[in-house]
Structure 1
Amino acid sequence: MVLHVVLVILSLLPLLEAQNPDPANITGTAITNDTLIWLSGKWFYIGSALRNPTFKQEAQKIQAEYFYFTPNLTDDTLLLQEYQTTEDRCVFNSSKLEIQRENGMLSKFGESQHSCGRICLWGRLEGAEEHVAHLKVFMKHRGFMLAFALEDKKIWGLSLYGANKPDTAPELLEEFLKAVKSLGMDESEIIYTDWKKDMCSQQQQQREPERKKTEEGP
C-alpha cells in the first residue's frame, strides 16, 4: 500500500510542477557596468504577456515603440527616451529609471501605474510608490526581458525587447515563449506590436534635437 502511494505521488510530480511555475528561472543576475554599457543604445519593444488587466488594456493600445537607453554609471540611472505610436500618432517621452545592481532590477517612482508606455508598464505612477522589474538579458541574442510582479501570479507579466531592428531573432522569441510558459501563461496571451504601424521613425529627425538636448542634460 505504501509503495502504491509513493508511485502515485511520483507520477503526479510533473503535473504538480506544471501547476506551480517557478519564476526564479526568469529573473536576472546582478547588474554590472558591462551590463549597462551593453544596454546603451536603441531598442525595440516587441511584446508582452500580462495578467494585470489594466496593464493588458494599455499594452493593446501600443502599436509600435522604440527607445534609447543612456546609462549613468555614477548615479546608477538609465535615461529612457522613447518614441511610442499610439492611436496612429507618435508620442515622445523622456524619464529616468533607477538601477538596483545587486537585485538585478530596474525601478521607477511616481508617474502612471497603468500606462504601458515608458518601456511598457512604466508611465505616470501615482504617489511615491516604487515599481520594479527584474531585468533578464540575452546578450547572445541581442535582447532583454523585464518581469513584473513575480510575487503575485494574478498580476505578473513579462515584456520583450530587441536591439537594432524590430524583427525578433527566432532564438530570442524562443526564450521569451519559454519564460511565458514557465509562468503558466499561454502563447495566445502575448500582445505583439506591429512595426508597420510605426508613426515615429519619420518624425524622429525633427525631434532629434529635442532628444539630444534631453540626453545631454542641463
Structure 2
Amino acid sequence: MALPWALAVLSLLPLLSAQSPECANFTAKPITNVTLDWLSGKWFYVAAVFRHPVVNQAARSVHSTFLYFAPNQTEDKIYVRKYQTLGDRCIYNSTHLLVQRQNGTMVRKENDTEFHAHLLLSKNPRTFMLSFFPEDKQKMGISIFSDKPQMSEEQLNEFHEVMECMGMHKSEIIPTDEKKDQCGPLEKQHEEERKKEQEGAKEG
C-alpha cells in the first residue's frame, strides 16, 4: 500500500484515557449491527493529526480521500473501497477490516502485522472519528470522516474537543482539500460498471 493503514481506514479501542468527565464521552463503544448499518456507504476523510513521523509525512502527501464501506454483519467484516488523490494521481484499492465488536475496534491485517483503529461515534450522525495508538504520545493519531467533503463548525468543534482530550493541538491538524480530487472519473466509471453488472444479473 502506498500509505499506512492509518490513512486507509478504521479501528476502534477504548480510545482515550478519561482524565476528565468530558473525555469519558469520547471513548469507543461496542460495535453493534446498528453501528455497522450506519457506517455503510460513502465517507470523506477530512482531516487528521498523526504524531507517528512516517504516518505524518505520508498524510501530508494526501490531497483527498473518500471511502465506501460495505459491512458484512455475519462475517464481522467491513469491505472497503478507497479512492485517494496523491499529487495529480488517483490511487484506488480495496481491502477489508475485521470488526472487534466488544472493544469497538477494527483491524486490518497486512502480512503478519495487525493495524488497529479505534472507532469514535460522534454526536453528529454525519461524522465519525478514528483513533490510533491512543496510549502512545509519540505515535498517537486521530482522523475525522464526514458524509460531505466540508464539515460544519459544530463538527469541527467536536473534533477539536477530542484532540484536546488526547493532548493534541489545533496547529497539528493536517487537512485535505476536496478541490484537488482526481478520483471522480474513476469513481463514475466504477459506478457505471456496477450498474451494468447488476442489470446483467437481473436479466440472467
Using structure 2 for the length normalisation, give the TM-score. Answer: 0.81
Q: Which amino acid is the alignment partner of residue 58 of structure 2?
A: E
Instruction: Give the counterpart of 1:175 among 138, 141, 158.
Output: 158
How many residues align structurally?
Answer: 178
Question: Helix, strand or coil for the counterpart of 2:65?
Answer: strand
Q: For the residues of structure 2 that align with 1:169 and 1:81, how far apart are their CA atoms? A: 25
CA contact (8 A) 1:40 1:69 kept: yes
| Map 1:1-80 → 2, pairs under 5 A | 22=19, 25-80=25-80
CA contact (8 A) 1:99 1:107 kept: yes
Q: Which amino acid is the alignment partner of residue 75 of structure 1?
A: E
Task: Measure how far apart 1:182 and its partner are.
Answer: 1.3
CA-based RMSD = 2.1
Q: Does 1:207 align with 2:177?
A: no
TM-superposition CA deviations, 1:104-152 (whole Å, max 9, x none): 0111111xxxxxxxxxxxxxxxx41211111011253411000000121
% identical aligned pairs = 43
Q: For the residues of structure 1 that align with 2:153 and 2:125, how far apart are their CA atoms? A: 9
Q: For the residues of structure 2 that align with 1:101 and 1:79, how far apart are their CA atoms? A: 16
Match of residue 85 from structure 1: 85
Match of residue 200 from structure 2: none
| Map 1:139-150 → 2, pairs under 5 A | 140-150=124-134
Question: Helix, strand or coil for the counterpart of 2:124?
Answer: helix
Task: Measure how far apart 1:188 and its partner are.
Answer: 0.7
Q: For the residues of structure 2 that align with 1:38 and 1:30, how far apart are their CA atoms? A: 14
| Map 1:110-189 → 2, pairs under 5 A | 110=110, 127-138=111-122, 140-163=124-147, 165-189=148-172
Q: For the residues of structure 1 that align with 2:121 and 2:46, how far apart are their CA atoms? A: 14
CA contact (8 A) 1:21 1:183 kept: no
Q: For the residues of structure 2 that align with 1:105 and 1:41, how far apart are their CA atoms? A: 19
Q: For the residues of structure 1 that align with 2:115 and 2:164, how far apart are their CA atoms? A: 24
Q: For the residues of structure 1 that align with 2:125 and 2:68, how far apart are their CA atoms? A: 18
Q: For the residues of structure 2 that align with 1:68 and 1:169, how far apart are their CA atoms? A: 21
Q: Which amino acid is the alignment partner of residue 149 of structure 1?
A: F
Q: For the residues of structure 2 that align with 1:72 and 1:210, how far apart are their CA atoms? A: 22
Q: Which amino acid is the alignment partner of residue 185 of structure 2?
A: Q
Structure 1 residues 21 and 72: CA distance shift in structure 2, 3 A: closer
Q: For the residues of structure 2 that align with 1:131 and 1:106, how far apart are their CA atoms? A: 8
Answer with 1 or 2: which has the greater Rg: 1
Task: Measure how far apart 1:25 and its partner are.
Answer: 4.7
